[in-house]
Copies of this chain bind each other. A is one copy, B any other.
Amino acid sequence: MIDPHNHNLGRNHILDSLSATEYNHLSPLLELVALSLGEVIYEPVDELRYAYFPITCIVSMLYVMESGASAEIAMVGKDGIIGVSLFMGGGTMPNRAVVRSAGYAYRLRAELLLQEFNRAGGCRNGALHELLLRYTQGLITQIAQTSVCNRHHFVDQQLCRWLLSSLDRLPSNELIITQELISNMLGVRREGVTEAARKLQQAGLIDCHRGRITVLDRPGLEARTCECYHVVKTEHDRLRLSPRHAQLPSYIPLYKDGLVRSESLSNRQA
């Protein structure tokens, strides 16, 4: 069995943020598992038996509509955990978690996660408690920004955002995924993704090849994506780094004089 720690595959950010004492306490309980493309971690009504800490894989939370159409709600990789409903108290979530990039993850039995989550560190809650909640706040921002992006931005921009977000969670610059799959994540037509990808390829930013996308020019993608990517990334980094109370982000996109600025709700200017 491989050990990701020795193979330089990168590790899970939440686990990495634990103190040595805490990690040593937890590590014998973790089980390394290989997750393959398409594997379903949970369905809408499933009570989770495990929480997953991805290392090299990426898992998508996605909602599948009655019509069969779908949309990705959030993606989780080495930055996070699958199974927030365990410690948030709901037990289940009305969406599906599916592996969309094969790789490794640690898994932890649900009851053990809860035990660690509720373990008091001194008179307060423990480190894992704080880490998980802070990650979940970042997840909220990711979901919210996806919503905004769905509303206002072009497929081209959304594809850039999606590629960049994926890249941030992968060890290389290569994505193993078909355009059809991406279209299911973005909730658009497959042809729309093809069209957008063609533009990026013509601009020399990516190379598409039968279920494999190689990113050639990351800064180029960053220049083409919408603000949504940056908002989520900045917030994510802020929440990851700040141990207790986060410092303000250097990127402050919202102090435009838009809708509902101060007193009046109706002072909108473009």
A residues at B contact (CB < 8 Å):
37-40, 43-45, 47, 61-71, 73-74, 84-85, 87-96, 98, 100, 118, 120, 123-125, 130, 133-134, 136-141, 143-148, 150-152, 178, 180-181, 184, 187, 227, 231, 234-235, 238-239, 244-246, 248-249, 252-266, 268-270
Contact = CB atoms under 8 A, between A and B. Distances in A.
Nearest to A152: B69
B141 A94 contact: yes
A71 to B, nearest CB: 5
Contacts of A43: 254-255
A98 B265 contact: yes
A87 B132 CA distance: 12
Most chain B CB within a 10 A radius of its CB, from A47, A84, A147, A257: A147
A258 B67 CA distance: 8
B255 A73 contact: no
Contact of A184 (B118, B140, B246, B260): B260
A163 B203 CA distance: 44
Given A151-B71, A152-B187, A266 B44 contact: no
Contacts of A98: 260, 265
Contacts of A270: 67-69
Given A40-B261, A45-B248, A133-B89, A254 B94 contact: yes
A258 B64 contact: yes
Contact of A63 (B37, B74, B148, B252): B148
Contacts of A62: 259-260
A74 B139 CA distance: 14
Contact of A71 (B47, B148, B255, B262): B148
